[in-house]
């Protein structure tokens, strides 16, 4: 009977924010929802991005029928290049989402080999045994959808990221009616976004930022630098409209901001008045009170346009005393230091900095549903089983409790990455685990996977430094020419007396080794490493990385 259950298998995004990836499996067919990344915590030294471990999909590659994307944020599409390098499957997404995906795949030279299939709200399509209907939802990005997936055991609804905005700037409102229709027909399982489960009430509409932004435009006497997430197309549109109303020309600076604005303009999400946009090189040709600079770098990213402008290191973006810098975004947890560092630099230049400090009026609104909207969705769909997704464990737990307290679901089930939840018309139960976790990527020229041992070594180096015992061995006689040298870097406690003793320890190790051991460089290096490690740990309580080096002369 187990073969006739639908398996719901999260591979990322349940137990952390980011790298959202969910697999639905019916017999020998697997449908994947989203393929995101997350940005690393500071302890993942030197790692650029983190993607989900897709060992399960690779092991079952012949069953994977396609990847369906809910929207174009990095935590939902950023892992695609790494997944598609392992699995050559079609990718389904809305027009705007696929425009972002194309740029990403082109960068990784995967575009020509990938089949991209455009989907639209209300138009059903079939992937194996699954019939999928995208449903229009609103979020901080445009062209976002939830997915109603008809499976052989019932309908599963995956909300993606959403909030209920009935009057978004693009006029494409959240489709309450479609959700209500599915609720009347009956929903087996609802997988719902948990991000803002801590927030009571409703999340304000995107329009709610306009009054405060209008007021800031009115009282800004010199240049206005407007920074928001490059994917905040609604916010960008509002800023451009206000610039036009207040007689300001607009220069767009920062690669991600330029790319997003071009895509949004091409697809009709932003309408720019003729003559409004100027080249960044023309900023100095206009009076400061007639210029707005739309600039990327709202999270204080070290090489972003705003970070460079804040230290006078940008060719075109020059911040002068009296200019206003507006950060229309939230502080993403973990980015506080870099953001406040940029704000400090801006203040040193006598700029007025406005950021989301809880002052009167909104300059940023969330793209995620608060508690009342989450309740509204549960009431509309009245699912048999409720499964919270997208969030740390505490968010998932609180969301499950919220659903239970409403009394409209049969069961609220908490699952995490790697859990296998088997569902049929009568029951849902956890039946096992698959391999899940995170894969660390150094996205240099070759985008290499960083193994755990590498991160461990980096942490080791950062905490206790490195010690290099250098041995000089005569190639002909095989004898050690002189007492070993010790070179240290980043190692605290390396006073001359202690180093001299450490040299003697290495010399003693060599004396007590046979000619055969000395001839085998691998063996002698390991003996030196063990003896030196023991000596240093005993005398300094530190554990530097010890790497013996043998020079032949």
- Selection from 527, 531, 522, 530 nearest residue 550 by Cα: 522
Instruction: Report the C-alpha gap between 14 and 143 in whole angstroms.
Output: 24
Instruction: Report the C-alpha gap between 548 and 4 in whole angstroms.
Output: 59
Instruction: Report whether 338 belongs to an annotated binding site.
Output: no
All residues at 6 or more sequence positions from 542 whose CB lies less than 8 Å from its CB, including other chains: 464, 465, 491, 492, 493, 536
Catalytic member of 158, 314, 345, 368: 368
Instruction: Report whether 75 belongs to an annotated binding site.
Output: yes
Instruction: Report whether 73 belongs to an annotated binding site.
Output: yes
Instruction: Report whether 161 belongs to an annotated binding site.
Output: yes
Q: How many residues does the chain have?
A: 553
Instruction: Report the C-alpha gap between 54 and 439 in whole angstroms.
Output: 9
Phi-psi region of 282 (alpha: psi -120 to 50; beta: other; left: phi over 0): alpha
In terms of Cβ atoms closer than 10 Å to its own Cβ (0-12, 13-18, 19+), residue 158 is: buried
Task: Identify the helix (H) or strand (E) that includes residue 103.
Answer: helix 95-107
Instruction: Report whether 112 belongs to an annotated binding site.
Output: no
Instruction: Report whether 244 belongs to an annotated binding site.
Output: no
Is 193 one of the annotated active-site residues of the chain? yes
Cβ atoms of 54 and 418 within 8 Å: the answer is no
Residue indicated by tokens 């507006």 = 326
Instruction: Report whether 366 belongs to an annotated binding site.
Output: yes
- What's the per-residue H, E or C state across 407-474? CCCCEECCCCCCEEEEECCCCEEEEEECCCCEEEEECCCCCEEECHHHHHHHHHHHHHCEEEEEEEEC
Q: Output the six-digit token pair for 166.
A: 């009935």
Cβ atoms of 100 and 88 within 8 Å: the answer is no
SS3 assignment, position 148: strand
Cβ atoms of 7 and 153 within 8 Å: the answer is no
Instruction: Report whether 460 belongs to an annotated binding site.
Output: no
Instruction: Report whether 3 belongs to an annotated binding site.
Output: no
Catalytic member of 193, 241, 464, 531: 193
Instruction: Report whether 368 belongs to an annotated binding site.
Output: yes
Instruction: Report whether 76 belongs to an annotated binding site.
Output: yes
> From the annotation, which residues make up the binding site for Ca(2+)?
46, 48, 442
Residues belonging to the binding site for Zn(2+) are: 71, 73, 75-76, 139, 161, 390
Residues at the binding site are: 46, 48, 71, 73, 75-76, 139, 161, 364-368, 390, 442
Positions marked catalytic: 193, 368
User: Which residues fall in the annotated binding site for substrate?
Assistant: 364-368
């Amino acid at each position: 009977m187990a073969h006739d259950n639908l398996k719901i298998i999260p591979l990322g995004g349940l137990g952390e924010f980011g790298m959202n990836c969910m697999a639905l499996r019916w017999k020998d067919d697997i449908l994947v929802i989203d393929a995101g990344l997350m940005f690393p915590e500071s302890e993942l030294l030197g790692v650029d991005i983190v993607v989900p471990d897709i060992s399960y999909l690779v092991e079952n590659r012949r069953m994977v029928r396609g990847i369906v994307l809910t929207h174009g944020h990095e935590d939902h599409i950023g892992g695609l290049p790494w997944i598609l390098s392992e699995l050559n499957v079609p990718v389904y997404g809305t027009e705007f989402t696929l425009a972002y995906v194309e740029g990403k795949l082109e960068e990784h030279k995967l575009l020509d080999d990938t089949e991209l299939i455009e989907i639209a709200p209300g138009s059903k399509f079939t992937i194996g045994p699954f019939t999928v209907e995208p449903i229009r939802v609103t979020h901080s990005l445009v062209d976002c959808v939830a997915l109603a997936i008809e499976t052989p055991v019932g309908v599963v609804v995956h909300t993606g990221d959403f909030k209920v905005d009935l009057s978004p700037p693009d006029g494409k409102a959240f489709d309450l009616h479609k959700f209500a229709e599915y609720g009347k027909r009956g929903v087996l399982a609802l997988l719902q976004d948990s991000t803002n489960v801590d927030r009571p009430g409703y999340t304000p509409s995107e329009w709610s930022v306009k009054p405060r932004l209008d007021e800031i435009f009115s009282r800004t006497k010199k240049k206005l630098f407007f920074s928001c997430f490059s994917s905040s197309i609604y916010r960008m549109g509002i800023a451009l409209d206000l610039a036009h109303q207040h007689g300001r020309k607009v220069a767009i600076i920062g690669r991600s901001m330029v790319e997003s604005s071009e895509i949004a303009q091409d697809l009709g999400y932003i309408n720019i008045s003729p003559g409004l946009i100027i080249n960044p090189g023309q900023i100095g040709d206009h009076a400061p009170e007639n210029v707005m600079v739309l600039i990327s770098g709202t999270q204080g990213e070290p090489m972003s346009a705003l970070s460079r402008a804040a230290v006078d290191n940008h060719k075109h973006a020059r911040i002068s005393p009296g200019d206003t810098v507006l950060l229309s975004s939230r502080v993403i947890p973990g980015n506080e230091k870099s953001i406040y560092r940029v704000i400090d630099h801006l203040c040193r230049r006598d700029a007025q900095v406005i950021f989301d400090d809880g002052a009167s009026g909104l300059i940023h609104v969330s793209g995620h549903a608060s508690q009342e909207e989450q309740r509204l969705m549960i009431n509309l769909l009245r699912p048999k089983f409720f499964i919270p997704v997208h969030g740390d464990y505490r968010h998932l737990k609180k969301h499950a409790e919220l659903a239970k307290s409403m009394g409209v679901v049969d069961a609220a089930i908490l699952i995490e990455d790697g859990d296998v939840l088997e569902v049929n018309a009568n029951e849902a139960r956890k039946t096992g685990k698959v391999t899940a976790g995170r894969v660390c990527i150094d996205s240099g020229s070759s985008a290499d996977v960083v193994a755990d041992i590498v991160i461990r070594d980096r942490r080791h180096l950062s905490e206790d430094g490195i010690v290099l015992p250098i041995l000089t061995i005569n190639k002909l006689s095989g004898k050690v020419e002189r007492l070993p040298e010790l070179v240290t870097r980043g190692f605290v406690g390396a006073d001359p007396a202690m180093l001299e003793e450490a040299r003697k320890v290495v010399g003693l190790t060599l004396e007590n080794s046979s000619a055969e051991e000395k001839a085998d460089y691998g063996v002698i290096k390991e003996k030196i490493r063990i003896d030196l490690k023991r000596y240093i740990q005993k005398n300094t309580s530190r554990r530097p990385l010890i790497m013996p080096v043998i020079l032949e002369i």
